[in-house]
Structure 1
Amino acid sequence: MTPAGYAGIATKDQPRVFILINLRRLREEKNLIVALVAAIAAYAAEHDVLAAGRPLTLVVAFALVATIILVSTRVAHHAEVLAAKVGDPYGTMILTLSAVLVEVVVLAILMQEATSPTLVRDTIYAAVMLDINGIIGLAALLGGLRHGEQPYNDDSSRTYSVMILTAMGISMIVPEFVPRESWQLYSMFTILAMIALYTLFLRLQVGQHSYFFSYAYPRGAQAGQKAEHDGSDDERALPSILVIIAGVVIIGALAEVMSTTLSAGLEGTGAPMALMAVIVAAISAAPEILTAMRAALANRMQSVVNIAMGASLSTVILTVPVMEAIALYTGQPFIMAMSPVQTVMVAITLIVAAINLNDGMTNAIEGMTHFILFSTFVMLTVIGL
């Protein structure tokens, strides 16, 4: 099939058209090419950077974090391309799963370098704060200031909320009361419970209850949504899938060097122990924030709810079994039980979300309440709580 924009070109010119198309795609993926070069250079210069002292080590570490975010943004873009083809609820499911995949890869690699047994717990907690309070808060605030009240399907928010509460309760609150000698048995139970929850959830999300996670927008909004994706509708799915795979591989390579340099650079600085967890959560959440802001400003709050709540649920329900399986394999348990402050913050967040997201409409005031909770999370992290 002749690609859009090249119709009418003679058959004999098709090889040239093919080359032009691929050159255009290479230019679009310049961030991936730059990241690949950065990964190779980082591997080659890793020992020299570590020997150069803390300032240079931290500069390189945060440069690698920025590079990982650029790559994850491209991964999210191609997930959006696939999402636009299949529509909701499949679309937002692809977006959230791609973000969680990036988070799991980075987290698994960081665990090889980090000595903190709470890194997994702190990362999941930070991700939930970023997704629910950060994304929904900012999106509802900006969207509310622009459009007033914004509609969505409240069935989705209730389903997400009860699933998140159940998953976090089982995996991050109950472990506080599990005897240490029983941690392996409870870890196996947690893995099975998370798999069972997510399997049923996926079946409902893409099956008989798929209407829970979609919203019938007016024709004008539907036209705007289609126009937003018109630039990518003519793209084939296979290139996007290949770029997502390549992006995750590059992120893994960058994360390995980043974990070494960041650990070495932060050692002895007095930085909060949870800082690395926040960085991991921010890496996966950055593309979601951009996508959610675009959706909110386009008056598509259903996409925001699906992205934010779906990402929170996927983070808990998918990251926990992977990390618990690693703990069982290595024989070294992680501390999964949240601290009292974290438990209180999660409880307040889910209560506020249950109240705000219960009537099918959001507004700027509801967005501000979540954004203030996000600001409180940032402040608590700064002071080491």
Structure 2
Amino acid sequence: MAGASASPLMTRVWRIVPPVALVALAATWGRDIGIVVVGLVAALLAAAVLAAVHHAEVVAHRVGEPFGSLVLAVSVTVIEVSLIVTLMLAGGDEAATLARDTVFAAVMITVNGIMGLSLLLGARRFNFVHFNAEGTGGALATVAALAGLCLVLPTFTTGEPGPEFTGGQLAFAALASLSLYAAFVVTQTVRHRDFFLPVTDQGKPLAEDEHADPPTDREAWVSLGLLLLSLVAVVGLAKIESPAIESGVLAAGLPLSFVGVIIALLVLLPETIAAANAARRERIQTSLNLAMGSAMASIGLTIPTLAVASIWMPTPLHLGLGSTQIVLLGITMVVAVLTVVPGRATRLQGTVHLTLLAAFLYFSMAP
């Protein structure tokens, strides 16, 4: 885990960031701020996200795989949900598609970006990369089911005008999402944990890194507390920064939906770094656990949370994807299946997934 192997200097930095971010939050809350302060708040927001994921990695390294990937995925999803809710509350009806755009962006970034980058980095160093097709295939099937149920179906239902579920449909989708996510967690951590452990080219479990000693219980508890502080800081600073994010997107001539892509890129950047580091150490299964776990949590936890929040939010919740997005999602899932089934991959598969990520980013900017 990257967080466990951080230098002593960076460890001190990540311990200082959460309280500093909270002080900045208290100093700027409810006030009009200038462009210089906006830049400082943005820097602190990014630092708080990095600090949150660092402390999540420390906790994750203490509990081990595959629990570690689960902790990281849930932590990133908490940040994502917090950003979505705060921006939706501040954006009014124009933010009706923000949840959809952010969740879809998270799926495309994880399945194409994180997985593609990990495969490419690993294959460049080891020629072939090997992983457990049973575990990764089961995770991919869950992601596909969640994406189809929560992001594709609302486009075709007729209970409400537009790409929106009725109250009953949204409740069903939320319960189904939680059930699928819970079933996967039980499979990953209890029933078939060995499906999600790094493997050798013969399919045998890979030995743990000898140099990566797990943190002590005290260090893990401290990181857990700082993780919670970081999440509070992220939520608050995102609320302060939301007008500047939307203004910047519009000033650049980009569609407002690109705000969701920015949120997903922000919250998934640290996890991308962690997955890339695991790939360089021939822990491709760990990289894929991070990618699939984040995609799954982004849908399976975000949609139920937003379903509950929508009771109090004045903003409608448009979840259905447009035609271009559905095509990109369909191509991604077909390609991902062909990548996962053999249980090994080369640089070609990594390049294909990264090309699909580039296509997603381009058509998000120029729909």
TM-score, with structure 2 as normaliser = 0.88
1:257 pairs with 2:231: no
Aligned runs of 1:12-31 on 2, under 5 Å?
27-31=13-17
Instruction: Give the Cα–Cα distance (whole angstroms) in 2 for the partners of residues 37 and 184 of structure 1.
Output: 40
Is the Cα–Cα contact under 8 Å of residues 62 and 262 in structure 1 kept in the other structure? no
For the 8 Å contact 2:198–2:205, the answer to whether it is kept is: no
2:104 corresponds to = 125
Which residue of structure 1 aligns with residue 72 of structure 2?
95
Out of 178, 191, 197, the residue aligned to residue 208 of structure 1 is 191
Is 1:86 the counterpart of 2:72 in the alignment?
A: no
Change (3 A) 1:65 1:28: closer
Deviation at 1:265, TM superposition (A): 4.6
Partner of 1:238: 221
Letter in structure 1 aligned against 2:73: T
Q: In the TM superposition, what whole-angstrom CA distance separates every residue of 1:335-376 from its partner, at most 9, and x where no partner exists?
A: 111001111111111111100111111221110000111111
For 2:250 and 2:281, locate their aligned partners in 1 and report how far apart those are by CA, in whole Å: 44
Distance, in Å, in 2 between the alignment partners of 1:169 and 1:329 is 26
Shift of 1:232: 3.8
Q: CA RMSD in A?
A: 2.5
Shift in CA distance, 282/266, structure 1 to aligned 2, threshold 3 Å: closer
Q: Deviations over 1:30-88 (max 9, x none)?
A: 333442343234337x4142xxxxxx3xx654553442222122211121112212221
Aligned position for 2:24: 38
What is the percentage of aligned positions where both structures have the same residue? 28
**Greater CA drift, 33-42 or 70-79:** 33-42
Aligned to 1:168: 147
Residues 62, 139 of structure 1: CA spacing in aligned structure 2 closer, same or farther, 3 A cutoff?
farther
Counterpart-to-counterpart distance in 1, 2:275 and 2:66: 15
Say which SS state the counterpart of residue 29 (structure 1) adopts: helix
Q: Which of 315, 331, 354 does residue 371 from structure 1 map onto?
A: 354
Q: Does the CA contact (< 8 Å) of 2:130 and 2:199 recur in 1?
A: no
Q: Deviations over 1:134-185 (max 9, x none)?
A: 1111111121111111111111221111111111111111111222447111
Q: CA 1:24 to 1:360, structure 2 compared with 1: closer, same or farther past 3 Å? A: closer
CA contact (8 A) 1:221 1:299 kept: no
Aligned-pair CA distance for 1:113: 1.2
Alignment-mate amino acid for residue 204 of structure 1: T
Whether the aligned pair in 1 keeps the contact of 2:100 and 2:151 (CA below 8 Å) is yes
User: Which of 241, 259, 267 lines up with 1:276 in the alignment?
Assistant: 259
The answer to whether residue 90 in structure 2 is matched with residue 113 in structure 1 is: yes
Name the structure 1 match of 2:138.
Answer: 159
Q: Distance in 2 between matches of 1:369 and 1:143?
A: 15
- 1:135 corresponds in structure 2 to 114
Letter in 2 for 1:89: P
User: Do the aligned residues in 1 keep the contact of 2:177 with 2:304 (CA within 8 Å)?
Assistant: yes
Distance 1:362 1:25, change over 3 A: closer
- Indicate if the aligned counterparts of 1:123 and 1:277 stay in contact, CA closer than 8 A: yes
Q: What's the offset of the Cα at 1:27?
A: 4.8
Encode CA deviations 1:197-240: one digit per residue, 9 max, x unaligned: 122222222211222212345999635x241x337457532101
User: Per the alignment, in what secondary structure is the counterpart of residue 310 of structure 2?
Assistant: helix
Q: Structure 2, unaligned stretches of length 5 or more? A: 1-8
Find 1:222's aligned residue among 199, 207, 214. 207
Going from structure 1 to structure 2, the CA distance change for 1:62 and 1:111 (only over 3 Å counts) comes to farther
| Equivalent position SS for 2:255 | coil
Q: Does the aligned pair in 2 maintain the 1:84–1:233 contact within 8 Å?
A: no
Q: Is the 8 A contact 2:77 2:297 kept in 1?
A: yes
213-222 or 246-255: bigger deviation: 213-222
Matches of 1:221 and 1:161, distance apart in 2: 22
Larger displacement relative to structure 2 (139-148 or 304-313): 139-148
Equivalent residue, structure 1, for 2:275 = 292
Partner residue in 1 for 2:41: 64
Task: Map residues 327-346 of structure 1 onto 2, 5 A cutoff.
Answer: 327-330=310-313, 332-346=315-329
How far apart are the structure 1 equivalents of 2:125 and 2:252?
A: 43
* Structure 1 unpaired stretches of 5+: 1-22, 50-55
